[in-house]
Structure 1
Amino acid sequence: MGEIVVVYEVDRAVATRPPRGEEWLVRRVHAAPAAPGSPDTTGPRTLCGKDTFAMETTCWKPSEHSEAPWYPAEYATAVCPDCDAVMET
């Protein structure tokens, strides 16, 4: 598997970005393959098949945290079970 980008499915109840210093309300954490030739850009679909267009890309890079899970630990309860199953294989 190539480079993986972690993306957040966020609550878009508010049409604008959260104020500086605040974070989105993360509903689900997904894994997506990177776009060809651009390891920091998300491909069009997550590993579970969802469209990444409205998702927020994170700074977390699984390749930089080989001993940690593929997702940020603080979002362990929000991990997509389908993406997680693909990442485990």
Structure 2
Amino acid sequence: MSEIVVYELDKPVATRHSPGPPSGAERRVRRVHAAPAAPGARTTAGPRTLCGKDTFAMETARWNPSGHPGEPWYPMEYASLVCPDCDAVIET
């Protein structure tokens, strides 16, 4: 699989331990997408996810689908956040 897992993140939220500016902000994963690898790269996502969203502000996951044969393309802890459109493209 040459797709790369990327995370669409929520806006920064101040953590309980750091009142004040969002320098210690935590960004939660809103949705898990798959994106094709950028041309000539194996670890960099291309400009769009498989569902058509821009990957510019997304974070690349450390999860490597090809390193886990027989498992889903996404990390299991984010199973409830998988983009259904990206998942449908991968399943076909």
Deviation at 1:24, TM superposition (A): 3.1
Provide the aligned C-alpha RMSD in A: 2.0
Please report the TM-score for the alignment, with normalisation by the length of structure 1.
0.86
The alignment covers a number of residue pairs equal to 85
| 8 A Cα contact 2:12 2:27, kept in partner | no
Alignment of 1:4-83 (within 5 A): 4-14=3-13, 24-83=27-86
Supply the distance in 2 between the matched residues of 1:66 and 1:17 (Cα, whole angstroms). 38
Q: Amino acid of the residue matched to residue 66 of structure 1? A: P
Supply the distance in 1 between the matched residues of 2:2 and 2:47 (Cα, whole angstroms). 14
Of the two, which has the highest radius of gyration? 2
Please report the TM-score for the alignment, with normalisation by the length of structure 2.
0.83
SS at match of 2:70: coil
Of Structure 1 and Structure 2, the greater strand share is in 1
Supply the distance in 2 between the matched residues of 1:37 and 1:74 (Cα, whole angstroms). 30
Which string of whole-angstrom CA distances, capped at 9 and with x for unpartnered residues, describes residues 22-46 of structure 1? x630000000000011110010000
Deviation at 1:13, TM superposition (A): 3.1
Unaligned runs of 5+ in 1: none
